[in-house]
């Protein structure tokens, strides 16, 4: 797997966790059932995201930031040859590669990073 793709996946997972903790249901569950200190958790997640961001090339950082701050996902799966960000078919030459995750692929239509789940 492409190193930056791995970092992006991790960052996005953390961002999703952060967003989820800012709202009702997950926040209640994590603090109620699991006794999590929410404010502290948000801060920890924030820091970790910044740390990971530092590992990306400026160009990749910018694209990620732009997408995620618009409230969108920055990395989306390609399932059945379709980009799950914009639901447009991805040219098959990419999908046919041995492991498409070895490259950092960007959707030609919506600009999101592509991830091919196993």
Partner 1 sequence: MQLRDFFSTDAIALDLTTETKDETLRTLVGLFHLDEKSEGILFKMLKRRENLGSTGIGRGIAIPHCRSLVVNRLRVAFGRHTPGLDFKAIDEKPVHYIFLIVAPPLEVSNQYLPVLGKIAQFSKEPDVPEQLAAVTKPEEFLQLLEMKGV
CB of 11 to Zn ion, least distance (A): 19
Closer residue to partner 1 (CB): 37 or 81 = 37
Q: State the binding string over 46-85 for Zn ion (x if CB under 5 A, else -).
A: -------------------------------------x-x
Closer residue to partner 1 (CB): 25 or 59 = 25
Residue 86 in the binding site for Zn ion (CB under 5 A): yes
Residue 10 in the binding site for partner 1 (CB under 8 A): yes
Nearest to 21 by CA among 41, 48, 35: 41
Count, in order, helices (H) and strands (E) of the chain. 5, 3
CA distances from 73 to 23, 29, 66 (A): 17, 23, 10
Edge to edge, what strands does the sheet with 113-115 contain? 82-83, 75-79, 113-115
Helix 24-32 and helix 38-53, axial crossing angle in degrees, nearest 10: 110
DSSP letter (8 states) at residue 91: P
Question: Site residues (CB under 8 A) for partner 1?
Answer: 1, 6, 9-10, 12-14, 16-17, 20, 25-26, 29-30, 33-37, 40-41, 44-45, 48, 73, 75, 77, 79, 101, 115, 117-118
């Amino acid at each position: 797997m492409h190193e930056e793709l791995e970092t992006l996946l991790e960052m996005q997972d953390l961002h999703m966790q952060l967003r989820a903790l800012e709202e009702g249901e997950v926040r209640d569950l994590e603090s109620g059932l699991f006794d999590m200190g929410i404010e502290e958790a948000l801060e920890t997640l924030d820091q970790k995201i910044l740390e990971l961001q530092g590992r990306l090339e400026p160009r990749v950082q910018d694209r990620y930031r732009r997408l995620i701050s618009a409230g969108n996902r920055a990395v989306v799966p390609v399932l059945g040859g379709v980009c799950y960000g914009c639901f447009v078919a991805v040219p098959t030459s990419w999908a046919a590669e041995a492991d498409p995750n070895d490259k950092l692929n960007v959707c030609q239509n919506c600009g999101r990073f592509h991830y091919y789940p196993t």
